[in-house]
Amino acid sequence: MATAKAKKKPAAKKKPTARRLLRSKGSPKPARPAARKVATSKKAAAKKRAPASIPDPKPTPRPTPDMSGRSLLPLNILLIGPPGAGKGTQAEKICGTFNIPHLSTGNLFRAAIAAGTPLGRQVEPLLREGKLVPDAITIPIVDARLEQPDAAKGVLFDGYPRNLAQADALEKTFVRLGRKLNRVILIEVPDSAIVARMSGRRSCPTCNTVYHLVANPPKEMGRCDKDGTELVTRKDDVPETVQGRLNTYADQTAPLIAYYQPKGLLSRVDGKRTPEQVFESIHGELQQR
């Protein structure tokens, strides 16, 4: 082992020292700058030198060798945006690409309601009315999920935190677990577009995949592509509740933008485009984190 390591080290150093070696030997390499000078002198030397002397403040990011982005792990990401911004759709793409678990508090609550658990019975009226579930219930559920082994490689939070108290709690949990938040993606869509979007939204009660009658229809009308379950309109996607959810977002969740921006964690993404275009932007933001 020791010999293998000893052999490897000088080999690894070869690259950075190669240029210096060439330069000190005075053979072909030094000819390069000289050749450039000749080329430069043909044109206006001053003009050429000026742009070259300006340092590039933001070097072009190199593509990661692993295009799936898995080399970025662990990756803890928050997805923020008004209801109907496309968080669920993007969450699915992000989790599939980076192979991290999707932590959607809304999905957890809906599963509890469907299973008829005490938690489900407690939160059902709140979800139906588009009101937030109390922090005392929500925060411990998220903390427990974060401690499961599969969350060690990172988590995509969708719909959490939903207010400043939850954001503070999450920060403390990350400190306690020795993890950090890598990026907060804000998907921006104006309210006027949201109401129109929500009326065409259909969801799979089995796997939570979200479809849209016009923008993202299932292959077979009314059935989930993945499991064939009959699609439903979520109870809180009806127009009367959507306005309430938008108000809750504006009052409770939008302040998270001012919370994360000064920390340098916020990336704004225009959510009015196709799901593929939105994902491309998110992917780019995550590569540059």
Cis before 161? omega within 30? yes
Phi–psi pair at 154, nearest 5 degrees: 120, 170
> Residue 265: helix, strand or coil by DSSP?
coil
CA nearest 286: which of 58, 74, 77, 66?
77
Q: Residue 159 or residue 271: which is nearer to ligand AMP going by CB?
A: 159
* 227 forms part of the interface with Zn ion (CB under 5 A): yes
Annotated catalytic residue within 219, 234, 263, 289: 234
Residue of the chain from 159, 185, 189, 266 that contacts ligand AMP (CB under 6 A)? 159
Contacts of 188 (CB under 8 A, 6+ apart): 81, 85, 268, 269, 270, 271, 272
- Among all residues, whose Cβ is closest to ligand AMP? 106
Q: Under rule CB under 5 A, which residues in 228-257 are in contact with Zn ion?
A: 229
Distance CA 17, CA 12 (A): 10
For the segment 109-128, give every residue that binds ligand AMP (CB under 6 A): 109, 126-127
- For the chain, the first-to-last Cα distance in angstroms comes to 36
What residues from 125 to 144 belong to the interface with ligand AMP (CB under 6 A)? 126-127, 130-133, 138
Tell me how crowded residue 112 is: count the other CB atoms within 10 A of its CB: 19
Min CB(145)–ligand AMP separation in Å: 12
Q: Report how far residue 156's alpha carbon sits from residue 72's, in angstroms, rounded to the nearest whole number.
A: 13
Could you identify the residue written with the tokens 């903390």?
Answer: 143
201 scored as a contact of ligand AMP (CB under 6 A): no
Q: Do β-strands 266-270 and 183-188 pair in parallel, antiparallel, or remain unpaired?
A: parallel
Identify the DSSP state of 60.
Answer: P
138 binds, among Zn ion, ligand AMP, none (CB under 5 to 8 A by kind): ligand AMP
d(CA 204, CA 212): 11
86 lies in the site for ligand AMP, by CB under 6 A: no
Out of 207, 232, 238, 250, name the contact with Zn ion by CB under 5 A.
207
d(CA 200, CA 48): 57
* Selected catalytic residue, list 93, 162, 183, 197: 162
Task: Select the span of 25-33, 46-54, 158-166, 262-270 touching ligand AMP (CB under 6 A).
Answer: 158-166
Catalytically annotated residue among 87, 110, 183, 202? 87
Chain centroid, CA 100 distance in Å:
11
Q: Tokens 């939903």 label which residue? A: 162
Binding residues with ligand AMP: total (CB under 6 A): 17
Nearer to ligand AMP, 72 or 139 (CB): 139
**Catalytic residue of the set 183, 197, 202, 245:** 245
Of 110, 197, 201, 202, the active-site residue reads 201
Please state the closest distance from residue 127 (CB atom) to ligand AMP, in A: 4
Phi and psi dihedrals of 185, rounded to 5? Answer: -100, 120
Contact flag: residue 224 with Zn ion (CB under 5 A): yes
With binding defined as CB under 6 A, does residue 278 bind ligand AMP? no
Supply the residues annotated as catalytic. 87, 162, 201, 234, 245
Q: Which residues bind Zn ion (CB under 5 A)?
A: 204, 206-207, 209, 224, 226-227, 229
Q: Which residues bind ligand AMP (CB under 6 A)?
A: 83, 105-106, 109, 126-127, 130-133, 138, 159-160, 162, 166, 236, 245
